[in-house]
Amino acid sequence: MQDPISITEKARAEIISTLQANKIPDTYGLRVGLKGGACSGTILLGFDTQTDFDQSYLIDNIRVYIDKRHLMYVVGLTVDYEEGLNGSGYTVSATEKSSATANLQ
C-alpha cells in the first residue's frame, strides 16, 4: 500500500528532533488533518495520540495519524520544513505544486 502523504528528509529530521527535545511519549505521532470545512479548510499538523477514527501509517519511521474522514483531502500532500529570513516552519504542498502553510499545534 502506498503512503498517503510524503515527508521530506528536512521535515523528518525536524519532527524527530521535536519529539526528542520535548520528550513526547512514543504513543504520539504526527497528525495530519483538516480544520474547518473540506473546501475551505486549513491543513493542520500536530503531535497527537491515535483515536478510533484514525488510520495509522509508518512513513519513514514517523508514526502518522490521519482521521479517516480527512484522508481523501490529504492524499498526495508533501510535508516539508523550510528555514528562511522570515523564520522557519513546516509547509504542506499538494502534488499540483500549490502550497499552504500548516499550523503546528
- The domain that holds 48 is classified in CATH as 2.60.300.12
What is the full per-residue pLDDT of the chain (105 aa) written as tens digits? 789 999 999 999 999 999 999 999 999 999 999 887 656 778 999 999 999 999 999 999 999 999 999 999 999 999 999 998 889 999 999 865 434 445 444
Domain count, the chain: 1
Does the residue 44 lie in any domain?
A: yes
Residue among 46, 83, 80 nearest 63 (CA): 46
Residue 85 lies in a domain: yes
Report DSSP state, residue 4.
S
Say if 43 falls within a structural domain.
Answer: yes
How confident is the model at residue 41, as a pLDDT?
78
Is 1 within the bounds of a domain? no
Q: Looking at residue 101, what is its pLDDT?
A: 46
| Three cell numbers, residue 19 | 519529539
Predicted confidence at residue 95, as pLDDT, reads 67
Q: What is the three-class DSSP state of 71? A: helix
Question: Number of C-alpha atoms within 13 angstroms, CB side, residue 49?
Answer: 6
Instruction: Indicate the pTM of the whole model.
Output: 0.83
Q: Which domain holds residue 18?
A: 6-104
Q: What is the predicted pLDDT for the residue at 35?
A: 87
In-domain check, residue 81: yes
